[in-house]
A and B are shown apart, each in its own frame.
Chain A
């Protein structure tokens, strides 16, 4: 579609029309339905009412610290009516990618990531080495000569609180081998917490490894279409009748644009209307793809069309 893309506030008639035009709605999690452990007020009601109105609801998150099961449990605790199969996090997405696209079922990887990632890998029959703390000992000569597991076929990077120089070094030593694959969960620069605090995201760790190894990783998370493609093929989702709801222009909205979905920005997270205006006025085609179709202050703004 040519011409300028204006991001409209979603309310009233426009809201009703949009809801009537979609069958499936994908929600990002951090900054959209919750912040850390605090639910966005009204979010559970929105999700539950959408389902009652016959819409299919899915969750698409770049956060690799939980398994699908852990997400479903967290959501239930917070009042969302959700099943495990409806959640697509990058721990799960990465395991599926390594299994299907990389053919590593029955093989082993070096994992710089969470226990959740380890569990999702085990579920698809992929073993790992490396998860957990890794403290430095010895000197530089020892580090360059760390024993490498000959069965390791890939270096996999996700959010890792135990990130250290030693882990970075191990990843580098594996990646020097040209036939070692290199996969990351996502490039988000920060992981948002409650109250607006944030910690460095997986993107930082991935950048460290990529710089040391002078190699680029393939990434699984938004804006890569991989997890959407998994979801779409598992559930038969029609792109033209699908809405992506997110708080980040460079992941959620860009994913939506790239996959031909309608896009809705909520302002309870990372991106602002100033960011939108910046992209809109940029004149750069790539940036224009980060301009959402609609925005709301919070997803609670959908309630008027769902209640009564």
Chain B
């Protein structure tokens, strides 16, 4: 059972309270976009926080719905931005976890029709999952296009090359009830560092749900599956040991709730305090699952707690 802190409950916490949390938790799960960095810029102090957590013997993993890049890219990005020694094994992306799902849960025998980026295909290929080749048949029209035999799953991720033809093909494959319907995530839109937004996988998934009359199985947050991937890798992991830190109520906080983790909202990204309060005041009890346990302005707010800890040990 998660620790009963009196300061729990959608409020901003500071030094001594953060320190108590740091002492109580062993395992820190961080979302990336809007928490650790904005695009190519690390959040001020983020690298120090992560390095300090590791120095204090804490486990740190990164849990992201972003399916566009292979995990190696993230390793290089962390290194570029001054994070010491972040390893592949600490990175859980929705594309990597989709590959694990197909390989280990479904044990897929057959091909996967992928609507997604090169990053998603790379993760699938690395896991040995056969993906349908992306052929650009110039004669193919929506009324008459070749379909492959042996397609056992349709996987939808972020795809900036989405076309109507791909949607049409996917909905043909999905007519077979034995063909699985998976989505990397259901985020309706993604923010860019400029503050602008772009359509997310959720919008593509919605189109395909309407076309097929079926609901997708969502791999990414807020679904539990990525936490199951983490637990499989870190044996003996208990939810009570964990703190989920994110910026998006509908994905990160709900994910934490669904997995029985304490949750912390950082205000450097998508969701604001007002949004959290709206969910808290909602008559719909399901909305209460999106309310964070703790709130910080930025994860750099951890630093004074570390400084204190380090002073004491000197």
Q: Interface of A with B (CB < 8 Å)? A: 136, 140-141, 143-145, 160-166, 168-169, 172-173, 176, 189-190, 193, 197, 199-201, 203-205, 207-214
Contacts and interface: CB of A to CB of B under 8 A. Distances in A.
Nearest to A202: B210
A163 B167 contact: yes
Nearest to B167: A200
Interface in B148-197: 159-164, 167-168, 171, 188-189, 192, 194, 196-197
B246 to A, nearest CB: 19
By DSSP majority rule, is chain B's interface helix, strand, loop, or mixed? mixed
Contacts of B159: 165
Interface string B203-228: 11011111101000000000000000
A203 B189 contact: no
A145 B196 contact: yes
B284 interface: no
Nearest to A200: B211
Given A140-B192, A199-B143, A207-B206, A162 B200 contact: no
A204 B198 contact: no
Nearest to B165: A161
Given A161-B164, A163-B163, A204 B196 contact: no
A28 B199 CA distance: 34
B38 to A, nearest CB: 12
B119 interface: no
B199 A212 contact: yes
Contacts of A201: 210-211
B210 A203 contact: yes
A201 B161 CA distance: 19
Nearest to A138: B160
A160 B194 CA distance: 30
19 contacts: A141-B194, A144-B196, A144-B197, A144-B198, A163-B167, A168-B203, A173-B196, A189-B213, A190-B211, A200-B164, A200-B171, A201-B210, A204-B167, A208-B199, A208-B204, A208-B207, A210-B206, A211-B188, A212-B199
A136 to B, nearest CB: 5
Contacts, number: 97
B149 to A, nearest CB: 18
Interface residues of B, number: 30
B309 interface: no
Contacts of B213: 189
Contact of A164 (B162, B202, B209): B162
B142 interface: yes
Given A144-B198, A189-B213, A204 B207 contact: yes
B210 A207 contact: yes
Interface of B: 142-143, 159-164, 167-168, 171, 188-189, 192, 194, 196-200, 202-204, 206-211, 213
Contact of B164 (A164, A189, A210): A164
A132 to B, nearest CB: 13
Given A141-B192, A144-B196, A212-B200, A189 B161 contact: no
A195 to B, nearest CB: 11
Given A163-B164, A165-B161, A204-B207, 6 more contacts: A144-B192, A168-B199, A172-B199, A199-B143, A207-B206, A211-B202
A189 B162 CA distance: 18
* Most chain A C-beta atoms within 10 Å of own C-beta, residue among B161, B192, B199, B208: B199
A163 B204 CA distance: 11
Nearest to A166: B160
Contacts of A197: 143
B203 A212 contact: yes
Contacts of A173: 196
Contacts of B167: 163, 200, 204
Contacts of A212: 188-189, 199-200, 202-203
A166 B202 CA distance: 15
Given A169-B198, A212-B189, A162 B203 contact: no
* Most chain A C-beta atoms within 10 Å of own C-beta, residue among B189, B200, B203, B204: B203
A306 to B, nearest CB: 34
A203 B211 CA distance: 8
B115 to A, nearest CB: 10
A142 to B, nearest CB: 11
A211 B186 CA distance: 10
A254 B268 CA distance: 47
B179 to A, nearest CB: 16
A140 B167 CA distance: 22
A160 B163 CA distance: 10
A193 B159 CA distance: 27
A255 B188 CA distance: 31
Contacts of B203: 168, 207-209, 211-212
A176 B198 CA distance: 11
Contacts of A168: 162, 199, 203
B214 to A, nearest CB: 11
Nearest to B142: A199
Given A189-B210, A212-B203, A172 B143 contact: no
Contacts of B188: 211-212, 214
A165 B160 contact: yes
Contact of A136 (B142, B160, B168, B192): B160
Contacts of A162: 164
Given A189-B213, A199-B168, A164 B163 contact: yes
B194 A172 contact: no
Nearest to A36: B143
B206 A200 contact: no
